[in-house]
Amino acid sequence: MKIEEARETLKHIGEHIKVHDGHGLIYSAQLVGALEIADAAMEKQIPKEPNDKCEYLKFKSGYCPNCSTSVCGINKYCPTCGQRLKWE
């Protein structure tokens, strides 16, 4: 299963849970919160191109598209927020 499919599946579950919110299901708010955290974590696994990418003498650099930390080509993930990076 691809990350996009997993996100879509959890989104459907989240919508179903929300329908039943306020009907005495104490755990539902916790589940919605957990699904939101899972979704944010999965989104960071989808590779994104760094902003303002540049290359000088095979040294690639740029800025994390999620938190703007300065990143370079050896970083597969942003060292600050964990966003997966796409260099090619």
**Does 85 interact with Zn ion (rule: CB under 5 A)?**
no
**Does 80 interact with Zn ion (rule: CB under 5 A)?**
yes
Which residue, 18 or 84, is less far from Zn ion as judged by CB? 84
**Does 67 interact with Zn ion (rule: CB under 5 A)?**
yes
CB distance 48 to 62 below 8 Å: no
Alpha-carbon separation of residue 33 from 21, 44, 49 (angstroms) = 12, 17, 28
**Does 69 interact with Zn ion (rule: CB under 5 A)?**
yes
Kindly report the length of the chain: 88
CB of 63 to Zn ion, least distance (A): 8
- Which two three-digit tokens encode residue 51? 């902003």
Report the chain's terminal Cα–Cα distance, integer Å. 23
| Number of residues located near Zn ion, criterion CB under 5 A | 8
**Does 75 interact with Zn ion (rule: CB under 5 A)?**
no
- Residues found near Zn ion in the complex (CB under 5 A): 64, 66-67, 69, 78, 80-81, 83
